[in-house]
Amino acid sequence: MSTLSIEHRDAVAVLKLRRASKRNALDDATVLSIEEFFRKPGADVRAVVLDAEGDHFSAGLDLGELTERSTEEALEHSLMWHRVFDTIEAGRVPVVAALKGAVIGGGLELAAAAHIRVAEPSTFYALPEGQRGLFVGGGGSVRIPRLIGAHRMADMMLTGRVLDAAEGLAAGLSQYLTEEGGARAKALELAERIAANAPLTNFAVLQALPRIAEAPPAGGFLLESLMSAVAAGSRDAQERMRAFLDGRAAKVAAGPGTHRKDAR
């Protein structure tokens, strides 16, 4: 895992891309190392921050590895990326991505597999595959339209349009926009907050919520009821509710930063 580093901060693990000289372009070794980490992040890890060394999150697929492939080889390569990014999106731990600089092509596909994205003002997004005679292959055509709509993704791919950080926030590519240099700190803050949640609630958000959102209403309502009953019946939930009713837990209040730079 020479192109990645792992730092543990209590219940939060920070996974950092370490190919700064190549703008953190994703070669197969790095992608497979990401899979290795997310398959067994550690029993004590309750949330993950996906970070990057240098000025850029990821400039996408390492084109140095883009050799001539047969149709079958290209298919297998795309399926490998799907498998790896599925371990992020459908894994057991919430993932917060700290974005800066280039978030391009496969780098945007990687970011889209995270559950929360925090961007700095330097962040810019692009899908240049159309200009290179390619098509997205890391799950982007499924995940990115869910964030911004198929029409916006088509615009980016057909015209080479680049979205800056503010445009990305407005479109839905990120949920937070920080000051320059602030994405990692904000991502850590969010990950620590997430790690403090009841584990069963985090499980429900990661595993049940996407399925409910895609289900017909009747099936979605039933799954919601079942998941709600399971979560509420846990010892953790009961202890937290007792703490709230006894006045030992803080009530929800408006925060000082409830404006366009905070959660959408």
> Catalytic positions, please?
109, 129
Closest by CA to 178, choosing from 165, 196, 191, 197, is 165
Token digits of residue 264 = 């959408």
Residue 240's identity, in one-letter code, is: R
Q: Alpha-carbon distance 163 to 156, whole Å? A: 8
Q: Alpha-carbon distance 124 to 42, whole Å? A: 32
Closest by CA to 53, choosing from 96, 22, 81, is 22
| Strand 102-104 relative to strand 116-119, pairing | unpaired
Closest by CA to 58, choosing from 108, 11, 14, is 108
